[in-house]
Each structure stands twice: as structure tokens, then as C-alpha cells.
Amino acid sequence: MALVEINKDNFDSKVLKSESMVLADFNADWCGPCKMLKPILESISNENKDIKVVSINIDSEDELAEAYNVSSIPCLVLFDKGMEVKRSIGLVSKDAINDMIGGK
Amino acid sequence: MYDIIIVGAGPAGLTAAIYARRASKKVLVLEAKSYGGQIINTLDIANYPVEAHISGFEFATKLYNQAKDLGTEFIFEKVTNINDKEHEKEVVTTKNTYKAKAVILATGADNRKLGLDNEEELVGKGVSYCATCDGAFYKNKNVAVVGGGNTALEDALYLTDIASKVYLIHRRDEFRGEDTTVSLLKEKDNIEFIYNSNVTKLNANDRLESIEVTDKDGKTKTIEVSGIFVAVGRIPENENFRRLINLDDKGYVIAEEDCNTNVEGIFVAGDNRKKEVRQLVTATSDGAVAATNAIKYINNLK
Ligand SMILES: Cc1cc2nc3c(=O)[nH]c(=O)nc-3n(C[C@H](O)[C@H](O)[C@H](O)COP(=O)(O)OP(=O)(O)OC[C@H]3O[C@@H](n4cnc5c(N)ncnc54)[C@H](O)[C@@H]3O)c2cc1C
């Protein structure tokens, strides 16, 4: 299943005010490693129903990217109750993401 | 038990898989991250025969699908060790152990670091190894590029269109990269060349703020930049095999064009092999040679 696209209008409700933890994938269309990460994130999303995996395009959502000091992509930020709790930069394995979110 | 285990799903490993599967061997590819290898970082490949232009992502995906459709098995685990039990090789990953008659090491290369104290913690906070990935974050900012090869020159060229100023720092007084790129760079008015110098310090306050550069006479100066793009070459990913496989002083697997290592039944293919030209065509070529010799080796067993 495709990841939910986040923009500055739904960021508050879908990410910050989310009941569950949110894994936000900051990415761009021109970034090769980001494209490699997409299918991995989709399978993480399918296998971990208690966590929301969302996508944030840094070109259209440059304000969000700036607010969270993103300056290298792909960049994964894990949010819990509106707070950033973990961050990882670059292409990472599925196992590493599972470790990050405490999944299986 | 597999016939052939291939370590690494970059261009060399995937090509080896194609050849091995077409010879009906049972093939497993073990990959630490995601398929494709280094090439996924580039936006445009313009020197691979047949396709005039193709993105690294598309190249990698097509190659992966080709290997997969032929029946290659893929498992995404990092290989940490290999044990040679003569006609049986044990390949140990972070999670499991797999067995095969032959192994092909196609682990490629990774970015060489500057080796500065706080370098790692500043990745994503000003330190980058990929201009095409991260350049866009430095619009109208000052950046530095370190290195003297093609990657450094191309990174610098790419960044002159984005950043307000680019400092190109090179430890020699001449570039190793292509002359055409050098002349294109010399036409730009927002680039400054700093020769005979090394970056010796990264000054940061949460994010990178400036760098210290030391020239060959030991004179230092501080340059204010918000980003530094490191392009000082690559290092082979062979450390996990050092116990078993002969490596040269730079860490590359010692093997001739036949791709045979010092251990019978273990072959090497791609950028992690000792050779002159490290490109896609030579990586895929190694993949074909290593697979062919591995197949021959297996058929001659028993
Ligand atoms: C920015 C950039 C641009 C480039 N542009 C071009 C170009 O235009 N044309 C060209 O011909 N070449 C280009 N190259 C070079 C080309 O990408 C390489 O020569 C080629 O990718 C080498 O292939 P490989 O399979 O040997 O290694 P790699 O591509 O490095 O693949 C090795 C794979 O092995 C995996 N691996 C490593 N260690 C382990 C382990 N212990 N366990 C499991 N898996 C492991 C890695 O994760 C990786 O996926 C470029 C390189 C870069 C970095």
C-alpha cells in the first residue's frame, strides 16, 4: 500500500496529533536512495499496523523539511506523541528500520 | 544447500546471478541494505553501452528484476563471516548461516571518510557524501567539496548551480579527474580552488559552521561553510573476509581477470577486486567471469 503523503496542512493532525507512533520518510523524486527505500517502507507499513508510515516530499514541503532540520535524504524521523524520538539518515536495511521502530 | 551464494546485490553480484541462473544453478544473493549498490546514487549514467542515458535507480531496478525473474533468491542480511569447509562454504550473516558449494564476493565499495573526529555525528548536519542527494539543501549557501577525482569535480560542478559559493579543496595541485569537467568548472565565477590543502577540522555547533583547512606548509585557515561534500574516493568492503581471503594493502581482494581468489571455490567480482577501472561495465564483466568460473568449479566437484 502506498504511504500517506503529508503536507503542511495535514502534518499537525496526521503526525503530531497521531495516537500511534509515526515514521516520517523525508524524500524527493530525484533521490535514488529514497526510491530504493520506498518499497522497504511499504512493507514495514504493511507488517506493523500499530505504526503509521508517512511520506514527506521535501521539494513541495520545504517548510517541514526546514522545520525538522532535514539536510540529507532519505531521512527517517520517528515521532511519538508529537515529539521526535529517533532519526536515521541514508538508505538503511529493513532490519535497521525494524530495530528503530521496535518492530519484529 | 545452494550451488552459489553471492554476497552483494550491486551490478557485479546481480550480473553473476543472471549467469548462474541461466546455467540452472541454485543461487542465493545476500544483500546488507537494498539491491543496486552504489549506482543508485547517480541521476544519469551516460557511459553504459546501449542506453545513452539512464538513471541509477532505473538501471538497478531493471538489473534486479532480470536476476529475480530468472529465479534468483534474495535475502536481505549482512554477511559477517565466511568459513571454508573445502567443498562446502558457510556464509554467516547477522541472523543465519547459509551453505553453498561456491561463493562470489561482490561487496563493492563504500565512501571513504575524511577521518575527522566529529565527522560521523555531523552526517545529515552538514557533512555529506552525495552531492546529488543533498545538494538541494544548500541553495544560496556556502559549501566545500573535498577531493580531486571525477566525483569531486562533478559534485563541485553540480553545486555551483545551487550554492552561492563552492570551495573545491584538493590535497594536490592538479586534478585527477577529466579535463573537460575541470575546464567547465574554471568558467564558473562562484568557485574557489584551494590546492595543496587538507581539511583538518569540522567546526560545529549542532550543525556544521566552518571548516579548518591546512596547506602543505602547515598554514591553517578557517572557511565558513554550511555543508561539506566529501568525495575522497572509496574503500572496498572486504574487512569481514580478511581472515580467509588475501587482500592488498588498500583492502582490495587480490585476483586476476579470472576472478579467482586464493581460496578454491571463492570468487570475487566488481569494485572490491584489485583492478584499474571501477565502473559498471567492469563490474558486470567481473560478474559474468566469476559466475562462469564458479559454475565450472561446481561442475568439476565430485
Ligand atoms: C555517485 C556515483 C556515480 C557513479 N556513476 C557511474 C557511471 O556513470 N558509470 C559507471 O560505469 N559507473 C559509475 N559509478 C561506479 C559504479 O557505481 C560502480 O563501479 C559499481 O556500482 C560497482 O558495482 P559492484 O557490484 O562491484 O559494487 P557496489 O555497487 O558497491 O555493490 C555492492 C553491494 O554489496 C553490498 N554489501 C557490501 N558488503 C556487504 C556484506 N558484508 N553483506 C551483504 N552485502 C554487502 C552493498 O550494500 C552493495 O549493495 C558511480 C559511482 C558513484 C558512487
Name the residue facing B133 among A73, A92, A94 (closest C-beta): A73
CATH number of A4-102: 3.40.30.10
Residue A77 Cα to ligand 1 middle (Å): 27
Q: Would you state the pLDDT for residue B235?
A: 93
> Element (H or E) spanning B228, and its range?
strand B227-230
CA distances from B178 to B148, B149, B170, B256, B266 (A): 10, 8, 15, 27, 36
The active-site residue, picked from A34, A78, A97, A101, is A34
Smallest CA-to-CA distance from B26 within B107, B101, B106 is with B101
Report the DSSP beta bridge partners of residue B146.
Answer: B169, B230
User: In which band, very low, low, confident or very high, does the pLDDT at B42 lie, cut at 50, 70 and 90?
Assistant: confident
Instruction: Work out which ligand 1 atom sits closest to the CA atom of B278.
Output: 19
Chain B residues with CB under 8 Å of A59 CB are 136
Smallest CA-to-CA distance from B130 within B117, B143, B111 is with B111
- Mean pLDDT of the region A68-88: 94
**How many angstroms separate the CA atoms of B170 and B118, rounded?**
21
Note if B134 is an active site residue. yes
CA distance A73 to chain B (A): 6
Neighbours of B102 (CB within 10 A): 27
CA atoms within 13 A on the CB side of B286: 34
Residue B45 has pLDDT above 60, yes or no: yes
- How confident is the prediction for chain B on average, in pLDDT? 96
Name the residue facing B32 among A30, A36, A93 (closest C-beta): A93
Binding pocket residue ranges, ligand 1, CB within 6 Å:
B 7-13, 30-33, 37-39, 41-42, 45, 47-48, 78-79, 106-109, 237, 240, 270-271, 278-281, 283
- Mean pLDDT of the region B43-56: 92
- Residue B301 CB-density burial (10 A; 0-12 exposed, 13-18 middle, 19+ buried): exposed
Query: B85 Cβ partners below 8 Å, 6+ apart?
Result: none
Residue type, B187: E
**B109-143, pLDDT tens digit by residue?**
999 999 999 999 999 899 999 898 889 899 999 99
**How many angstroms separate the CA atoms of A85 and A98, rounded?**
15
* Spans of all domains in chain A: 4-102
**B166-176, pLDDT tens digit by residue?**
999 999 999 98
- Mean pLDDT of the region B148-170: 96
Chain A residues with CB under 8 Å of B136 CB are 28, 30, 58-59
pTM for the full predicted model:
0.90
CA distance A89 to chain B (A): 7
Tell me which of B94, B268, B280 to substitute to probe ligand 1's pocket, judged by most ligand atoms within 8 Å of the beta carbon. Answer: B280
User: In which band, very low, low, confident or very high, does the pLDDT at A37 lie, cut at 50, 70 and 90?
Assistant: very high
CA distances from A93 to A5, A10, A42, A43 (A): 22, 28, 13, 12
Cβ atoms of residues B199 and B144 within 8 Å: yes
Q: Would you state the pLDDT for residue A104?
A: 46
CA atoms within 13 A on the CB side of B71: 11
Dihedral angle of Cα B276, B282, B288, B293, to the nearest 10 degrees: 0
CA distance B218 to chain A (A): 32
Share of chain B above pLDDT 90, in %: 91
Q: What is the DSSP letter of B108?
A: -
Cβ atoms of residues B245 and B261 within 8 Å: yes
ipTM metric:
0.85
Share of chain B above pLDDT 70, in %: 100
Domains and CATH numbers, chain B: 2-111+234-301 (3.50.50.60), 120-230 (3.50.50.60)
Neighbours of B147 (CB within 10 A): 24
Residue A103 has pLDDT above 80, yes or no: no
- Mean pLDDT of the region A61-78: 94
By C-alpha distance, the chain A residue nearest B78 is A93
Chain B residues with CB under 8 Å of A99 CB are none
* Between B216 and B44, residue with greater pLDDT: B216
- Mean pLDDT of the region A32-51: 94
Note if B259 is an active site residue. no
Smallest CA-to-CA distance from B9 within B67, B95, B93, B83 is with B67
Tell me which of B7, B18, B30, B39 to substitute to probe ligand 1's pocket, judged by most ligand atoms within 8 Å of the beta carbon. Answer: B39
